[in-house]
Structures are given as structure tokens and as C-alpha cells.
Amino acid sequence: MSADPRRAVPRTDTLLADPALADAAARLGRDLVRTAVRAAQQRVRDGDLAPGGVVADVLARLPGTAAGLRPVLNATGVLVHTNLGRAPLSPAAVEAVVAASGTTDVELDLATGRRGPRGEAALSALLDAVPAAQAAIVVNNCAAALALVATALGGELVIARGELVEIGDGFRIPELLEATGTRLREVGTTNRVALGDYTGALGPGTGAVLKVHPSNFVVRGFTRSVAVAELAAGLAGTGVPLVADVGSGLLRPHPVLPDEPDLQTTLADGADLVLASGDKLLGGPQAGLVLGRADLVQRLRRHPLYRALRVDKTTLAALEATLRGPLPPVQAMLAAEVADLRVRAGALAARLAAAGLDARAVDSAARVGGGGAPEHPLPSAAVSLPEPFAGPLRLGARPVVGYVADGRTLLDLRSVPPSSDDDLAAAVLEVARRWT
């Protein structure tokens, strides 16, 4: 008669008292570790795990942090990948977030001991980066910035029909604007709009004229649009503000992306307010940036909705460090030379081939992502592996997300920092050991 397998299962209290698991409980929380212990005990009962391997099994399956989000290597070639959290923060920004996670002087004047301006250092850094702006505020994303502008300026918003866009996950700009109670006055046609369409739509109830950068699509052929400079000149003397949502958060013109609008140029061309995201080409935390005329920014700041949309101390810290600190990862990726990427791809492919894998270095095309520069591929280089690697790489201890093209798994290196090449190789070799 065989022994009852339940007798071989280590006791829960004994396991939780193990020094390694006790340390894990202190770092991750006792409930999370206890849940992992019970799952391991069940594997012992099922005969899938030896009783002596429970502690090691639990430690291997515990997450690195108490949060459920897992670090992922982005080898998709999409620099600003919304599904992967958009812009990775720079080490300087991460350090600033940690420093700001305790009690800070976010809204205190240490000299007087009285309440001070909220996030003054971050706003100062933003204005230094975009000198055409008189003032700035930061809210929790660009959609929030647009909602605040529409609500605070009130009245009717004049907008071209071709700019009533839908972006990711079915999110539609006109639906957001209408949800604020704003009335939309659509002008022009889907493919063409003229200055006279805008000026002819102005009236006593006009709150602002809004331009929205299409971002994730391009209309070609028989088209016409009105540039910010032309529209600003046409609105001169009307008292109607011109608001431009440029989307991607590019601070100044960039030689790699000559057609991408930037904050500095848009304001210099005459926009009264400009809106952008903080976690795209700027390379910082999720945030909605509003810059422009001081009186209009103050009007937004004093609106009750601003209180519900403003950002916390860690976002302000990360934003300031991104603006003041060294080149953020996204901008480093954008500036990477294709020759350097090819060298990295060749070295990685040779390393993997030496381990017996079918690995090759190939040229590839990366993209900005996040709605930026949709028709502007970035020359890049990738490591090519057999197609079956794609799924197991996503499920590894350090998940790697690449993409499949022409029957091969490609790991594009423009979106992988050079410091992660060893991690990428280790992840591939681990998959090869487990799955091939």
C-alpha cells in the first residue's frame, strides 16, 4: 500500500519560517508568499514537485516586486509601444521617482514654511525646454489636457472634419470633447479645409479653434490643410484662442523626423496653447503637457477640473529629471546609428549561433510608435530566429516581445538599449534550453 502523498507535503508554517521565504515575505508581503507556497504544496500532492524542492520552486515563481507588472524587453522595433508602457524612464528619472516617493516639498516653500507653488521645479524645466511658452501646467495625460481645455475655455470648438480622429483602443477625439459638454463646429471636408472655413465659422459662442495632429494616419492625394502660422494670422484680432494638440511631445524639431510637429515651433508659429504627451518622444512619464499664453494657462489652472486631473509628486519628479537629466532612452533609440545596430545584431547572432541556434543578423525597419511619424520607418537591425521562438520568449522568466515576419521571429535592436544585449541573449538561450 503506497504512502499518503499528503504526508510528504512540507507544512506551511515550516516553509514560511525558511529564511529565504521570510526575506521574500518581508519584501513582497506575507499573503503573496503564502499563496505561492500553497500552490507549490499542491504540486507536491500532484506528484509534479519533489518535497525538497518547494522553497526553490516558490522563490523561482515569485515576482520581482509586490506589483503585478513585469519588466519586458521590447524587441518590437516600436520605440514608443503603448502596450509596453510607452517611454521607458531614464535612470535619472527613476532615481528622482524614488527620491520623491517619501515626503517632499512638492507644495511647500521651505524658506517660509508656507504653502508654495505645486511642482514649480518641473514647470520651470518645461519652460526652459520650450522658451516660446509663457506658462505651463501638467495633467495626467494628453486626453486630460484636451478635456480641461475644452471645459475651461467653454463655448463652441471649431475643428476641421479631417482632424476628428480615432486613436488607439477605439478612443475618439470628438467623443471626448462632446463628453465635456462642448459643442463642436466641424469645418471643411474630410480631405480639404481652408482658412476661410475656420474664420467663417467664428461667432460670439466660439471658445477656441482646435487643431489636432492626425498622428497615426496620413491622408494623401487631393488634400489641403491650414498650417498653424496661417491659421494664427487669420485669427489675429478676433480674440479666439488657437489650440494645437501636437500629440507626440517632441520639444523641438528633430532631424530624424522632419515632418513631426514640435512644441517650440508650434508656439512660435502663433498657437496660443499647445498640448502634448509626456511619455512619447519626450521620453518621460505619462503626462499631459499644456504650454502657451500665461493668461490662458492660469484660466486652466484655476478651473475646478484641474484639481481632478493634476499629477502627483512622482510624475513631477520624473518629468523634471527627464527634462534636466541625460538623454532619455527613447531619444537615444531615435538617435542610434544603423551601423552600430548592425554591429550589435551581428555580435548577438554570432553568440547565439555558437550555442547551436539558427540565428542571423538582418536589416529591419523600426517605427516611432505612439501615433508618431506613421509613415517614417527607421532603418534598423534585428536578430532573426525560427518562428516558434516568439511565444516562448514572451513567456520566459524575463519576457521578450519581438515580432514575426516572413516565417521568422525578429528581435529588433533599435528598441533595446545596448545595456540589455546580455539579457536578451540570456533570454533566448533559456528558451532554447526549455523549448527546443
Q: Degrees (nearest 5) of the Cα angle 270, 276, 278?
A: 140
Residue 101 in grid coordinates: 516617493
User: How far is residue 397's CA from residue 2's CA, in Å, rounded to a whole number?
Assistant: 36
What is the pLDDT, as a whole number, of residue 1? 41
For the chain, which residues score pLDDT lower than 70? 1-7, 168-169, 215-218, 371-375, 436
Asked whether the beta carbons of 166 and 172 are under 8 A apart, the reply is yes
User: How far is residue 294's CA from residue 135's CA, in Å, rounded to a whole number?
Assistant: 5
What is the pLDDT, as a whole number, of residue 5? 54
Return all residues near 132 (Cβ < 8 A) that are at least 6 apart: 263, 264, 267, 268
Straight-line distance from the first to the last Cα atom of the chain, in angstroms, rounded to the nearest whole number: 39
- Assigned CATH topology for domain 91-326: Aspartate Aminotransferase; domain 2 (3.40.640)
Other beta carbons within 10 Å of 155: 16
What is the pLDDT, as a whole number, of residue 263? 96
pTM: 0.88
CATH code of 73-84+331-435, in short, is 3.90.1150.180
Sole residue written with cell 519560517: 17
Sheet holding 156-160, edge to edge: 135-139, 288-292, 273-277, 242-247, 206-212, 156-160, 183-187
Q: Output phi, psi for 404, to 5 deg.
A: -105, 130
Kindly list the domain boundaries of the chain, sorted by start residue: 12-61, 73-84+331-435, 91-326
**Which residues partner with 379 through β-bridges?**
365
Return all residues near 381 (Cβ < 8 A) that are at least 6 apart: 338, 341, 342, 344, 345, 361, 362, 363, 364, 412, 413, 414
